[in-house]
Amino acid sequence: MIKPKLYVKEGCPWCEEAEEFLQEKKIDFERIEVRSNKAAFEEMIELSGQTKTPTMDWAGEVLADFGVDELIPFLQKKGVL
């Protein structure tokens, strides 16, 4: 299974909620902090067309600027919930 990438900004409450939700559901992901990593920030913008976090890239499917309410159907579509 491809590990999803979760782009976050340190101190972002929506990012923290998304991370906690994924950890509770035992969904493995790669956490990428974009404030301290300019290349990752630019990669996120290229993928999503925007600068807001959290942003998830799962095998080319991108969910940008989301809360847990938007994350749940995305994960259901991926078959992990």
Chain segment 17-57, per-residue pLDDT in tens = 999 999 999 999 999 999 999 999 999 999 999 999 999 99
Please give the pLDDT value at position 1: 65
pTM for the model stands at: 0.95
CATH of domain 9-75: 3.40.30.10
Spatial separation of the C-alpha atoms in residues 58 and 15, rounded to whole Å: 16
Q: Take residue 77 and report the two structure tokens written for it.
A: 């579509």
Q: Where are the domains of the chain?
A: 9-75
Averaged pLDDT, 60-81: 95
**pLDDT above 90 (res 4):** yes
Spatial separation of the C-alpha atoms in residues 77 and 51, rounded to whole Å: 24
